[in-house]
């Protein structure tokens, strides 16, 4: 081979090597650009996933706590209702006993103060007064049943007004 051909081969090799190095350089630069964009999208996706997971976890925790507190409130409310119901029943029984005692005392007083000689009239009056006492007891018992029926319906109790 001549010198000239050897130089040409060396030049061609240098050109090929230079072209190869340029291609490698530009390829790696492109990969860096793509890698930078990939890292940015990868980080964005990762943050979005973490944000969504955190929001879901918070919502689950809030829902669980809300359910727990609701159950606790229902138990406390039920306990309070039972106590109030017992107090109302006790109050109703006490008031009923007071009223019945007052009616019986009044009836006994009327019977004692009667100046009837005939036992038949006396028994008639006694029977009438007993009937009045029994009607009063029945009306007092009806107050409790009406109150329970109204409470179950969720309304406010309003006693029936008597027309005289």
User: Could you give the 3-state DSSP secondary structure of residue 131?
Assistant: helix
Number of independent structural domains in the chain: 1
In a domain, 160, yes or no: no
pLDDT digit string, tens, across residues 106-124 = 888 877 777 656 777 778 8
Residue 118: both structure tokens together: 């005939």
pLDDT digit string, tens, across residues 70-88 = 999 999 999 998 999 899 8
Query: Could you tell me the residue range of the domain that residue 127 belongs to?
Result: 3-153
pTM of the model: 0.45
Check: CB of residue 111 under 8 Å from CB of residue 126.
yes
Mean per-residue pLDDT, 144-162: 68
């Amino acid at each position: 081979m001549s010198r000239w051909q050897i130089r040409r081969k060396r030049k061609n090799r240098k050109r090929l090597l230079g072209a190869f190095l340029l291609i490698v350089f530009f390829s790696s630069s492109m990969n860096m650009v793509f890698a930078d964009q990939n890292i940015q999208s990868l980080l964005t996706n990762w943050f979005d996933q973490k944000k969504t997971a955190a929001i879901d976890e918070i919502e689950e925790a809030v829902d669980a706590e809300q359910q727990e507190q609701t159950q606790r409130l229902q138990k406390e409310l039920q306990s309070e209702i039972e106590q109030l119901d017992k107090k109302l029943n006790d109050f109703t029984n006490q008031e009923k006993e007071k009223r019945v005692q007052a009616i019986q005392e009044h009836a006994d007083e009327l019977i004692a103060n009667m100046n009837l000689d005939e036992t038949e009239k006396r028994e008639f009056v006694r029977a009438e007064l007993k009937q009045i006492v029994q009607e009063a007891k029945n009306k007092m018992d009806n107050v409790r049943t009406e109150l329970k029926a109204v409470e179950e319906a969720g309304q406010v109790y309003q006693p029936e007004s008597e027309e005289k």
